[in-house]
Structures are given as structure tokens and as C-alpha cells.
Amino acid sequence: MLILSVWLQYWVATYEDVSPIKQAVKQLIFIVLGLAGMLIIKFIDKKIIWKLVPWIYVFSLLLMSTLYFFYDVTMYNITGTKRWLDIFGFKFQPSELAKIAYILFISKELIQYDIKTKVKNISTDMNLLWRLLLFSTPLFALMFMQKDFGTSLVFICVLGALLIASGIDWRILTTIGALLVALGGFLIFLVFTENGNNILKLLHFKQYQLDRVLAWRDPYAFADSIAYQQVQGFVAMGSGGMFGKGSAGIDVYVPVRESDMIFTFIGEAYGFVGASLVIILYFYLFFQIFYTGMKSNSKFNIYICVGVVFMLVFQTFENIGASIGLLPLTGIPLPFLSQGGTSLIATLIALGLILEMNVYD
């Protein structure tokens, strides 16, 4: 996947006003930094990480809080959001590192609940849920103020997956699931009414986010405006056919294909077969992470594996789903392959936690 990421970034850059060599070297630098972080985490004993979990979580919240003082002005002017930290020219997204901290924190809370609660019932499970929501409130409040709806969905997916893995009462899960579906449906309904748009804007939703839902519902009605990116992505994917045109045969322009729409380049260049092989690679990785957790004699490890897998599954499903029209665009990168150093480094650090595990833990 890492080799493929360099290859894709090189070829995508050949169709943009960017030096392919420079883009490939930049991706290689991110890979080296990510692998270094992965190896460091691999050789840190999980008992040390266990003790540091609360501090790691608090540090991630403080890091996200600094966005209000050291945010990237350039990205703020482009997107209207403060998601990128800029300290002496070094830029990264704290929310990417917060994903790992959140997985570790929720996993530890679930283990402590298992230890302290001898007899579990719906009452004790509800107490656990309220405790987790209480500790999650600062994180989601920061995400809300930063207007990062896409990343917020990743945190919700991770929390949901870990709650299911913990064996929490099914009545609680069913109720939460129904409420989330109802809330999601209601928010989508608001997008299609003028008064609803006004309500959503009061809730910090930006116009471009509302446009993405409109473009998702009927992309060809807005092919020359807000859905231009999606429609161009469909054309690129479809034109690739079964085996693709090859890396040097790209002739369909897709905006931001180095990041959000990288999968459309794969579809056009390597066709249905190439795109399918990439998806198989992802599922093989997910399987290996799950398998590692199951081999480990540690429930903490299992929870970490579940959290990491569903973090990656959601990002992969959302990115690819948006590229082929199944889901609205949210700006979530495709793990490993999209341009974005923080995302790549954070993903490799998360895999370092997996590589540390063994059957004797």
C-alpha cells in the first residue's frame, strides 16, 4: 500500500501543475516519518501505554485546542475551518492523532468497566455509556467548533464499534442506532428546505457541506456547478473499463484527485480489476488486524484492534463510496493512498500498536 501510494502520487502529479518527483519524494518523507513512529510504538511495552492512556487523551485535546491560536491561515482562507495546526511552518491535523488517543482511551475505560463490574445489566451498561459520553464531550465539542463533520463521523463509528465489541446490552445499542438513523435522516431532510438550511447554518454547517448532499442526491442536475467533481469522477471511473487506460493514458480531469478523489484515478488508470485489487488489499489488512487481536491474550489488544479496523473501514468505505456516488463527499482521505502527511503518519502509528501485540500479551 505504501509503495502504491508513492506510485499514485507520482502519476497524479504529472497531470497537475506539480513536479512528480517532488510529490513522490514528499510522500516518501511522510512514509519514513510514519514508519519511524510505527517502530517506536512497536517497541514500547503495552503496559507503559496503558498507564499513559489518560495523559495521551488529555494531550490530544490540548493539541486540538491550540488550533484557535496556531491554525494554518492559508487553509482557513480556503476552507473557512481551523483544522490544520501551523507551528513554525510545520503543518498537521491534530484530529488525526486524536483518533488513536480516543481508541486507546475508550478501550481502557471498557477494560476498567469489565474489571469493576462483576454483574452487568442494563443499568450498569447505561452508567458506562453516560461515562463514555461525558469523557467524549470535550472531543466532540472541539470537532463541532472546528466544523469537521467528516472526522466526527469517524469518532462516532469507532465508539459504536467498541460498544458493540464490549457486549453492551442490545436494547441500548438498538435505541442508539434508531436515534442516530432518525437524526441523520432529519438532518438530510433539512438540507432540501430553505428553513432547514438556515437551521443547519446555525449549527455551524457550511454551505459547501450542504451542497455536497444536494450533489449526492442528483449529481447530474448540478454537473456544471456543485456536483462537477462527482460527475467527473463518475466519467473517469467509467472510462477505465475493465483493465484501465494505464497511468500515462489519463484524459479525464477530476478536481482534487490527489486526495479526496484518488480512487477515481485508480479506476481510470487500472480499471475495474485494478480498483478491485486495491479493495482486496484493504480487506486483507483489516483481516490481519482482527486476526492479530484474536491471537493476543489481551482484551485491551482486542479493543484496540476493533477501534483501528473500524477507523480504517469507515474512512475507506466513505472515500470510495463518495468516489462512486454511494455516499456524499465529506473530505475524508483514503488511508495510505491519499495525499496528506498527518493521516498517513497517524495510520502507521496505529499499526505500530498492532505490531506490538503477540500471543503472550
361 residues of the chain, pLDDT tens digit each: 999 999 999 999 999 888 999 999 999 999 999 999 999 999 998 889 999 999 999 999 999 888 877 777 776 666 667 777 877 667 788 889 999 999 999 999 999 999 988 888 899 999 999 999 999 999 998 888 777 788 889 999 999 999 999 989 899 999 999 999 999 889 888 888 888 888 888 877 778 778 888 888 888 888 888 889 999 999 999 999 999 999 998 999 998 888 889 999 999 999 999 999 999 999 999 999 999 998 888 899 999 999 999 999 999 999 999 999 898 888 889 999 998 888 999 999 999 999 988 654 4
Q: Examine residue 256 and state whether it is found in any structural domain, yes or no.
A: yes
Domain-located, residue 361: no
In this structure, is residue 83 part of a structural domain? Answer: no
Q: Is 103 inside any structural domain?
A: no
Residue 316 lies in a domain: yes
Q: What is the pLDDT of residue 78?
A: 64
Compute the distance between CA of residue 211 and CA of residue 302 in angstroms, rounded to an integer.
39
- Quick check: is 5 in a domain? yes
3-state secondary structure of 86: strand
Is there a domain that residue 141 lies in?
yes
- Domain span at residue 226 reads 1-45+115-356
Please, are residues 295 and 114 in contact by the beta-carbon 8 Å criterion?
no
User: Looking at residue 273, what is its pLDDT?
Assistant: 96
H helical segments located in 17-148 = 20-42, 46-65, 67-70, 73-79, 94-116, 122-145
Note the pLDDT of residue 158.
95
Task: Tell whether 132 is covered by a domain.
Answer: yes
Counted domains in the chain: 1
User: 269 near 256, Cβ under 8 Å?
Assistant: no
Tell me, yes or no, if the pTM score tops 0.85.
Answer: yes
Q: Alpha helix locations (H) across the chain?
A: 2-13, 20-42, 46-65, 67-70, 73-79, 94-116, 122-145, 149-166, 170-191, 194-202, 207-217, 228-239, 262-295, 299-323, 341-355
Q: How far apart are CA 356 and CA 361, in angstroms?
A: 9
- Residue 252 gets the label, from left (phi > 0), alpha (psi -120 to 50) or beta, of beta
